[in-house]
A and B are shown apart, each in its own frame.
Chain A
């Protein structure tokens, strides 16, 4: 048995969950909050509960035995039955970054307590996200998902894997141009060359349109197919629409049957906690494993280090305060 407030103090940091499909991100947050409150309340939470106690039943059975009154309790008004549970779900400030919509599943980065300060830094880092998206040829629906209203039926037997590969390559190539536009440099300038040489060219901020860095076929079994998509600033709706458009490009139609985020920057499936593991113990353990993903060299992506001023980088490597990271990126 651990002292409840000790656990509460340990619940500060960033962790990573596997969001199942069919639930909203906010429901995930509520679920986690409920679980945390449940797990902490079974631990000793009030001062009198810390002490060893003896229960001595009353030998005269005139009245029911006074079994709930702990010995170390001085006044009854401090009793758990009077004051209620020490923790309620809203005591746990759980937030997430870069939401997943209801129909998609995958890695969702969350914070609890003071870990929220890191979320803005994670958002500013504009990590690359990797998705596995499944599609199915032959239908078109109004919202691109299998549950929407069917708008169109089509044939798909003429589609070959090589053609699909080609279309995916076209999509990827089409976005190469946008990369430099959204990064704020001219495509044929020296600056663009240096950016490209330094590594991945990220958009300037998180409000630009989606950029696709990679798109290739990982599974092809008509009418089903699966793509792996690397992107930044995308939404799940955008990816579903992309499947629809790929279908049209191939003179057929396609719906999107699954969107699964398998990686969010340094956060991968291995870190993600399954729904059944959203308990206080597992989350505290996960916070510890995710801590090494929050070092300055991982939070400051290449471009921001070159743009950030020297003293800020120095501060970051010394103290790694997220608020400073934020200021540094604002300046850059």
Chain B
């Protein structure tokens, strides 16, 4: 079996290609794959073929049923011609052969009909055979093209990355629709010129390319939207709560899921926030900074606010202040907050009162990964020798990256300026230590030039 394979391979390789060709097309494989497909009467010819690439089509219980075979074939190679040749007993219909998203053949396949594809780089095409009684189909490639049959299934399989058929403008005739729009595409670019919705979104400043990364479902949803029906009311809603035009595009890019929500529900959520005595300005700011908060139901939002109040023993005003400071808290995972509270309390040794003060002044510290948080505390407390009380006084320090702390602290130590006690002279506050770019920091705090600092950094 093996030798037969090899012989076919070698023969085909040696055939139409000269040595020069082979050298020129080092990367273009040349091979002939021939395989047979059984009709629904169920006989399979096994010629030289790879078993794994052929699946027997399950024959329908009713023989009159249409049997559809969909076959994804990819053709690769530098340049060349791939042929699809049919051998059959009876007439067969080749429903379509599509290539690169474009259907280019819809014909009844006559005996010994050959379809040729010019291969430039890499092409993937799909054949669908309907009601066919063919015996064998061979796909061959010449001159540096190689054919890889991908799958043979008895039902339509589509690529999960592809977007499905878009909304069709009613003004176009049927013919125009078919010619103008591809049935599937890998991004929005193919549809933007044809779809009023998409072009309006782009004009609003929505980054469609970013939405593409959010998964197929939301892309399909956006593709099928009607601007006046699905988008316009939401824009009016955003304007009503005070979002400015410049921010609209950013918000929709961040959270396109808003279009899947019911408008009445959104209003209910806004009403809920107002009932919790968030001012309209606060609500606008929160929505702009974290539009996802409007996706949460009022029950969950209420539970989340209650969680923070209970966890840190806060008053209503303090909860509001923290949420306004960092709106992501509303959608943030409770477990992570609990874990970080444990870290602050048990592992770092802050008292309950201190943890509360850290939460109020810098709620974002609780959303940092716990390993980073511990590393920062380790450096601040154990290496720099700062007390817990000092850290609480400027708790934003927990958001500073360790390597920045380390570089600047070590530099100050080397200069003899690492003096973090406010009662002595030459005091360097934590705020002064980590804020400002090097160009300002070096002359002001370290009293040296930036070049000297850079030289020092190359000794670390």
Residue on B nearest A65 in the bound complex, by CB = B245
Asked if B246 contacts A67 (CB within 8 A), the reply is yes
Q: Is B358 an interface residue (CB 8 A)?
A: no
Given contacts A67-B205, A69-B203, A276-B438, is CB(A79)–CB(B458) below 8 Å? no
Which A residues contact B (CB, under 8 angstroms)? 18, 20-22, 63-69, 75-77, 79, 81-85, 105, 260, 269, 272, 274-276
CB distance from A3 to the nearest CB of B (A): 21
Chain A binding site: helix, strand, loop or mixed by DSSP? loop
Which B residues contact A (CB, under 8 angstroms)? 187-190, 192-193, 199, 202-210, 212, 235, 245-246, 248-249, 403, 438, 454, 457-460
- Chain B residues lying within 8 Å of A69, measured Cβ to Cβ, are 202-203
Asked if B249 contacts A22 (CB within 8 A), the reply is no
Asked if A68 contacts B460 (CB within 8 A), the reply is no
Query: Roughly how many angstroms separate A22 CA and B189 CA in the complex, as a whole number?
Result: 42
- Chain B residues lying within 8 Å of A276, measured Cβ to Cβ, are 438
- Chain B residues lying within 8 Å of A274, measured Cβ to Cβ, are 454, 457-458
Asked if A83 contacts B209 (CB within 8 A), the reply is yes
Asked if B457 contacts A81 (CB within 8 A), the reply is no
- 5 A-B residue pairings within 8 Å (CB atoms): A68-B249, A76-B193, A77-B189, A105-B460, A275-B403
CB distance from A87 to the nearest CB of B (A): 13
Other CB < 8 Å A-B pairs besides A22-B403, A81-B205, A274-B454, 13 of them? A18-B457, A18-B458, A21-B460, A64-B204, A64-B235, A65-B245, A76-B193, A76-B199, A76-B202, A77-B192, A81-B209, A82-B209, A85-B209
Asked if A64 contacts B245 (CB within 8 A), the reply is yes
CB distance from A173 to the nearest CB of B (A): 30
CB distance from A88 to the nearest CB of B (A): 11
Query: Roughly how many angstroms separate A105 CA and B456 CA in the complex, as a whole number?
Result: 13
- Chain B residues lying within 8 Å of A85, measured Cβ to Cβ, are 209
Asked if A272 contacts B458 (CB within 8 A), the reply is yes
CB distance from B178 to the nearest CB of A (A): 19
CB distance from B306 to the nearest CB of A (A): 37
Asked if A84 contacts B209 (CB within 8 A), the reply is yes
Asked if A77 contacts B459 (CB within 8 A), the reply is no
Query: Roughly how many angstroms separate A66 CA and B206 CA in the complex, as a whole number?
Result: 12
- Chain B residues lying within 8 Å of A64, measured Cβ to Cβ, are 204, 235, 245, 248
Most buried by B among A21, A76, A269: A76
CB distance from B186 to the nearest CB of A (A): 12
CB distance from B135 to the nearest CB of A (A): 45
Query: Roughly how many angstroms separate A65 CA and B246 CA in the complex, as a whole number?
Result: 9
Given contacts A75-B193, A269-B458, is CB(A68)–CB(B209) below 8 Å? no
Query: Roughly how many angstroms separate A67 CA and B202 CA in the complex, as a whole number?
Result: 10
Q: Which of B206, B403, B458, B460 contacts A81 (CB 8 A)?
A: B206
Residue on A nearest B437 in the bound complex, by CB = A276
Query: Roughly how many angstroms separate A82 CA and B200 CA in the complex, as a whole number?
Result: 12
Asked if B205 contacts A68 (CB within 8 A), the reply is yes
CB distance from A40 to the nearest CB of B (A): 16
Query: Roughly how many angstroms separate A272 CA and B457 CA in the complex, as a whole number?
Result: 11
Residue on A nearest B453 in the bound complex, by CB = A274
Residue on B nearest A107 in the bound complex, by CB = B458
Query: Roughly how many angstroms separate A269 CA and B438 CA in the complex, as a whole number?
Result: 20
- Chain A residues lying within 8 Å of B235, measured Cβ to Cβ, are 63-64
Residue on B nearest A262 in the bound complex, by CB = B458
- Chain B residues lying within 8 Å of A63, measured Cβ to Cβ, are 235
CB distance from B98 to the nearest CB of A (A): 21
CB distance from A281 to the nearest CB of B (A): 15
Given contacts A75-B193, A272-B458, is CB(A81)–CB(B246) below 8 Å? no
- Chain A residues lying within 8 Å of B202, measured Cβ to Cβ, are 68-69, 76, 79, 81-82
- Chain A residues lying within 8 Å of B187, measured Cβ to Cβ, are 82-84
List of 4 A-B pairs having minimum Cβ-Cβ separation, nearest first? A84-B209, A64-B245, A77-B192, A68-B205
Asked if B189 contacts A20 (CB within 8 A), the reply is no
